[in-house]
Amino acid sequence: MRIVMLGAPGSGKGTQGEKLALHHGIPKTSTGDALRAAVKAGTPLGLKAKVAMDAGQLVADELVIGIARERLAAPDAAKGFILDGFPRNAAQAKTLDALLAELGQPGVSKVIHLLVDDEEIVHRLVARGALEGRSDDNEATVRSRIAVYQSETRPLLDYYQARGLLVTIPGVGDIDAIFSVMLAATEPTVPEAAEA
């Protein structure tokens, strides 16, 4: 099962992706978490990524693609994975397809789109910023991140819809209820069950 979580920042991709990963016993990879760890550790990657992250812009493709490549090539990702926050633009989506082919893995099995409206997103992220101290969860940066999502990431909905992979799920309400809908939408298909 190779799942991509799509949705605006704060739509619940991390929370729901984690639950799905635990349920299926496969790893979840968040490029945002990996970048924040690199910033915290002060690595060259972190230093390059920080300016874009603080401005609510996307980090350069080659940096995040490097993270994704390394993670997907790890042995524990061979049977499946959940991607949270990658791909985020058309170039990254094409690279993901190429990367899976290169690794001899089947392509993406489903793309889960969590739909949450913009005002709810701002409200959630500003509250998270106050709680967790995430430096990009302030209102100005949140608005840039939403704009970047609309212009760069939202077109991926069409990309995956055209491939018959997209499932859109309302991302508002009870966390467990949203998860149940997600679970029903990602039940393995017969060919994939045969593969495992």
Please say which residue, 56 or 171, places its beta carbon nearer to ligand AMP: 56
Q: Are strands 2-7 and 28-30 parallel, antiparallel or unpaired?
A: unpaired
Residue 159 to residues 5, 11, 47, 87, 139: CA-CA distances in angstroms?
14, 20, 32, 11, 30
71 an active-site residue? no
The distance of closest approach from Cβ of residue 114 to ligand AMP in the complex, given in angstroms and rounded to an integer, is 13
Catalytic residue (one of 28, 88, 110, 124): 88
The distance of closest approach from Cβ of residue 192 to ligand AMP in the complex, given in angstroms and rounded to an integer, is 25
Q: What tokens were used for 187?
A: 């039940």
- CB atoms < 10 A from the CB of 128, how many? 15
Catalytic residue (one of 13, 19, 28, 36): 13
The distance of closest approach from Cβ of residue 110 to ligand AMP in the complex, given in angstroms and rounded to an integer, is 18
163 an active-site residue? no
Q: What are phi and psi of 113, to 5 degrees?
A: -105, 115
- CB atoms < 10 A from the CB of 138, how many? 15
- CB atoms < 10 A from the CB of 60, how many? 12
154 an active-site residue? no
Task: Tell me the three state secondary structure of residue 87.
Answer: coil
What is the b/e burial string over 17-46, where b = at least 16 CB atoms within 10 angstroms of the residue's CB?
bebbbeebebbbbbbbebbbebbeeeeebb
The distance of closest approach from Cβ of residue 152 to ligand AMP in the complex, given in angstroms and rounded to an integer, is 8
141 contacts 56 by C-beta, under 8 angstroms? yes
Catalytic residue (one of 50, 79, 128, 143): 128
Residue closest to ligand AMP, measured at CB: 32
The distance of closest approach from Cβ of residue 68 to ligand AMP in the complex, given in angstroms and rounded to an integer, is 7
Please say which residue, 24 or 36, places its beta carbon nearer to ligand AMP: 36
Catalytic residue (one of 134, 143, 154, 163): 134
13 an active-site residue? yes
What is the binding site for ligand AMP (CB under 6 A)?
Answer: 9, 31-32, 35, 52-53, 56-59, 64, 85-86, 88, 92, 136, 145
Please say which residue, 80 or 85, places its beta carbon nearer to ligand AMP: 85
Please say which residue, 25 or 155, places its beta carbon nearer to ligand AMP: 155
Residue showing tokens 């009870």 = 174
Catalytic residue numbers? 13, 88, 128, 134, 145
